[in-house]
Each structure stands twice: as C-alpha cells, then as structure tokens.
Amino acid sequence: MKPIEIAEGIYDVGVTDWNIRDFHGYSTYLGTTYNAFLILDEKVVLIDTVKKPHADQHLEKIAQIIDPKKIDMVISNHTEMDHSGAIPRVMHRIGEDKPILCSKMGLKNLSMHFRQKYNYKSVENTEKLSIGKRQLTFLETRMVHWPDSMFTYLEKDGILFSSDGFGQHYAGWEKFDDQVGDAIMAHAKKYFANILLLYSPKILKLIDAVSQAKLDIRMICPDHGIYWRKEPEKILNAYVQWSKQVPRKKALVIYDTMWESTEKMAGAIAAGLIEEEIETMVMHLRKWHRSDIMTEVLDAGAVIVGSPTLNNGLFPTVADFLTYMKGLKPKNKIAGAFGSYGWSGESVKLIRQELQSMKLEVLEPGLRIQYIPDADGIQACADFGKRIAQRLKAQQA
C-alpha cells in the first residue's frame, strides 16, 4: 500500500494489521492499524513507529517518499510496543546516533525496553521545537493511557498527533472520518470503554487543558484507526461525554449458565425490566466477547450479573468478566446479582462482593434460586427486574 499524504509534506507511513483478532483480551474482529507519520521540512521527522513484525513494511513505505537515512529525528509519543517495537530496525536503518524525542517517562521506558544506548532526549510539557517552516509542541498526557504518554501538536497545519487517544481498532480502506461516516463512532466508543475508561478524570482535565490552550486543531491523528479531519470536535465531544460516564435508562443482564436455570432467571429479569420500559440487553458471556459487553457497560445505568455456583464459587466466565470490568472502574451504575445453585449457592454473594468493591450501588439482597426456577421463582426474577427498573428511573428523574 502506497503512503498517503494526509497534509502537504506529511505522510502516513504506518501499516495495517488486517488479521489481528485479539489485542490484550480486546476483540479486534476488523483488525487494526499501527499509524506512524513522516513530516518533511528542513528537519525530517518520524512520529512513532509500528509493531515489530511490521518494521520492514514500515521502512518500505518511508523509502517510497525519502531515503530513510535522511530522517533527522524520531518522536516516540508512547512507548507501548505496538508503537515502539520497530525502533531498533528503524534506528539501524537511519543511523543510531539520531535523536529519539520522548517524555521523561518515555526515556526510562525505552531504555528498559531495548537496553541499547540510543540518543534519547526527553522533552518538557508544552516545550516547542522548530523543524523549519513548522513548529512542534509537546503535550504531556500522563496516564492517557501510560505514564509516558504524550501528544505532539503541529502548529502550522493544526494537526494533533494523539498517540493512543481518540483511536479505534479498525482496519479498512478508509483513512479519514468523512470516508467512514458515523459507523466509526461505535469503534471509537469500544476503544474508549476498554482502554481509556479508567482514566476518565484525567481525560476530562486533558481536554480542558487543550481547550484552555486554544489550540487550532484541524485534524487529529491517533496511532490506531482513522484520522479525524472533517469533524475533529466530534471525537473530542464524545470523549467528554464518555468520560463523564452519564448513565442512560439502559440495563444489561450479563450471565452464564450450566443447565439453563440461570438463563431462565436472566430472561425473566429482563422481562421485568422491559415491562417497565427500560432499554434492556441480555448478554450471555459465551456468546458475547467481554470487550463488546464492556462497550455497552459504558453508558448503561444498571448492570445485573448472574452466575450458577460451581465448586463453591463463580462460573469461570463470570469471574473473568467481573475481573475485567473491575479493572476499568465503571462509575454511576446500579448493580444487582442473581444466580442458581444446587446445594451451596455462594455465587450471588461473591458477585455482590465484586460489585461492591467497584463502588457501584448494589441492590440488596441478590436473588438466588435452587435448581430450576418454578413459576414463583420466575415471578421473583421479574419482580427483581422491576425493582431495578424503578431504582433506575428514580436515578434518571
């Protein structure tokens, strides 16, 4: 694939990973991209590299534009290996004495990643660098989403190279938001929910700081997915909304089942919610990927989790999901627990403990039914759903 000139003298020299289907437990069923950028000015600048297996393709794209040896410096906005893995190959090709600019934490991370004495130079927050007709500004973005993360802003062109901010795991022929349309927002939402959600307070502060700085942002170029050139404010506004975690009148019934008893309970709870006119999704943990469920959790007002008891504990998929969700620290949600059991019945108590540890509003008590729910049990489940619906309506009032 030929390099695309995204603005005058600025090229996309990243690569497309069409076949990746799992990214740290996140389902990437449409693949992803590792974006990198070449700026031609009096100084030739490479912003970020790519994942190590794609290093040769990355260098071939650069070579279609300019002899890689003419690159004067590399900027590493983020040291995670899908963006820095190709650095040794790149430096070997362009000259190992060329400077690699990064944040202070980036310098530490890169030194530990490669154990090689490259010419690292750390930059300060808001530090500026002239590269000829253009000027770069470095913006520290600690914990969005690693301690080393930073953005690079290209003033003349109004381009924000935003590292892992504002990205999506999406591989397609399209390179820009106006080519994809609104469909890209679902991918951006999933990316936020599964990677950036726990950093929501820092993201709100970051966007406020960018606003205060009055940067003229005409394009946002993340390190994954498409570039926002038509409506960069659309993704900025979405990040504000998602970071606030404002709950909707929406409930998720998330469960797994052994002999269908917990499944029957889930269906009856959902029926109670729907009767109260609550937007409801029923999500079986072996039919839905955890990362797709987490995307729905982002704006849900209620999360109800069910599990049978297995070996005095939780069903493995339920334990997995609760661990995953806990790490992402969702807020502003009503929660409930339910489950079936044969003789011991610890699952509901264990779910409630996990939900409480997330500081969610957990309804007392949970609902548990021994063996197969009878008519009274089904009614109890529907009533449980109605009770959650009423609490959710009160929250939304």
pLDDT in tens, 219-268: 999 999 999 999 999 999 999 999 999 999 999 999 999 999 999 999 99
The CA–CA distances, whole Å, from 314 to 85, 288, 349 equal: 38, 18, 10
Q: Is the pLDDT of residue 396 over 90?
A: no
CA 373/CA 268 separation, integer angstroms: 10
Indicate whether 397 pLDDT > 80.
no
pLDDT tens digits along 257-270: 999 999 999 999 99
Q: HSE, CB side, 13 Å, CA atoms: give it for residue 379.
A: 3
Q: What is the structure's pLDDT at 4?
A: 94
Does residue 68 have a cis peptide bond before it, meaning omega lies within 30 degrees of 0? no
Contact between 36 and 68 under an 8 Å Cβ cutoff? The reply is no
Q: Is 191 a catalytic residue?
A: yes
Which of 17, 48, 140, 164 is catalytic? The answer is 164
Active-site position among 12, 48, 80, 299:
80
Residue pair 96/73 in contact by the 8 Å Cβ criterion: no
Find the catalytic residue in 5, 24, 178, 277: 24
Q: Is there a catalytic annotation at residue 54?
A: no
Q: Which one is catalytic: 224, 239, 296, 341?
A: 224
**From CA 13, how far away is CA 84, in angstroms rounded?**
14
Longest dimension (CA), the chain: 78
pLDDT of residue 226: 98
**Catalytic-residue membership of 164:** yes
How many whole angstroms separate alpha carbon 207 and alpha carbon 163?
14
CB 273 within 8 A of CB 389: yes
Average pLDDT, the chain: 95
Three-class DSSP category at 392: helix
- Locate 256 and state its tokens: 């797994």
Q: What 3-state DSSP class applies to 341?
A: strand
Task: Verify whether residue 224 is a known catalytic residue.
Answer: yes
Among residues 268, 282, 388, the alpha carbon closest in space to that of 340 is found at 268
pLDDT tens-digit readout, 132-161: 999 999 999 888 887 899 999 999 999 999
For residue 136, give both structure tokens. Answer: 């770069």
Q: Which of 191, 227, 255, 341 is catalytic?
A: 191
Which one, of 262, 120, 140, lies nearest residue 205 by Cα?
140
Which of 12, 17, 41, 82 is flagged as catalytic? Answer: 82
Residue 115 has pLDDT above 90, yes or no: no
SS3 345: coil
Catalytic-labelled residue, pool 83, 145, 169, 187: 145
Q: Is 24 a catalytic residue?
A: yes
Q: What is the pLDDT of residue 290?
A: 97
209 burial type by CB count under 10 A (0-12 exposed, 13-18 middle, 19+ buried): middle
Tell me, yes or no, if 145 is annotated catalytic: yes
Convert the pLDDT of each residue in 278-312 to its tens digit. 999 999 999 999 999 999 999 999 999 999 999 99
Q: What pLDDT digit, counting tens, does each position of 195-207 carry? A: 999 999 999 998 8
Could you give the percent of the chain with pLDDT greater than 90?
89
> Residue 265 in 3-state DSSP?
helix
Is the pLDDT confidence value at 11 over 90?
yes
Identify each DSSP E strand in 240-383 by its residue range: 250-255, 279-284, 302-306, 309-310, 313-314, 334-341, 361-362, 367-370
Classify the C-alpha dihedral 20-26-30-31 as positive or negative: negative
CA triplet 56, 122, 40: central angle to 5 degrees? 50
Beta bridge pairs of residue 338: 306, 367
Domains of the chain: 4-243 (3.60.15.10), 250-392 (3.40.50.360)
**pLDDT, tens only, 40-92:** 999 999 999 999 999 999 999 999 999 999 999 999 999 998 898 999 999 99
92 is annotated as an active-site residue: no
Three-state DSSP string of 181-194:
HHHHHHHHHHHHHH
Query: Which residue do the tokens 């609550």 mark?
Result: 278
Task: Catalytic residue, from 58, 78, 83, 187: name it.
Answer: 78
Confidence bin at 375 (pLDDT 50/70/90): very high
pTM as predicted: 0.94
